[in-house]
Amino acid sequence: MFIDGSTRAYTALRTAAIGLGTYQPGWRWSLHAGPQTGKESENHIGYIISGRMMVSDTSGNQVEIEAGCAFEIEPGSDAWVIGDEPCVALDFIPLHDPSDPAVT
């Protein structure tokens, strides 16, 4: 749970983890998640189920993502919920097999 009551849970499969996040209105990565994790945001691949988010990349470009949109967010970006309803999103994280010689 994040400090604002937003939640994120995940399940690890053999080759990927799938996360489900419910982010409350006003939630922002740089305010509610980054300080808890102690690190910058990582690459995110996901899908918005409901609600909306604004994403700002490392160059300051902003894009709104909404229900029904798939997305990929680069490392170091910031994101925040816009509007009065929570944003519910799936994210997908590849899990690399350390025994694979192609993985460095």
What's the predicted TM-score (pTM) here?
A: 0.79
Pull the structure tokens for residue 92: 């997908």
* pLDDT reported for residue 85: 96
* pLDDT reported for residue 67: 97
* pLDDT reported for residue 84: 96
Q: Which parts of the chain sit beneath pLDDT 70?
A: 1-4, 32-38, 97-104
* pLDDT reported for residue 3: 62
* pLDDT reported for residue 63: 95
What residues does each domain of the chain span? 7-94
CATH class of 7-94: mainly beta
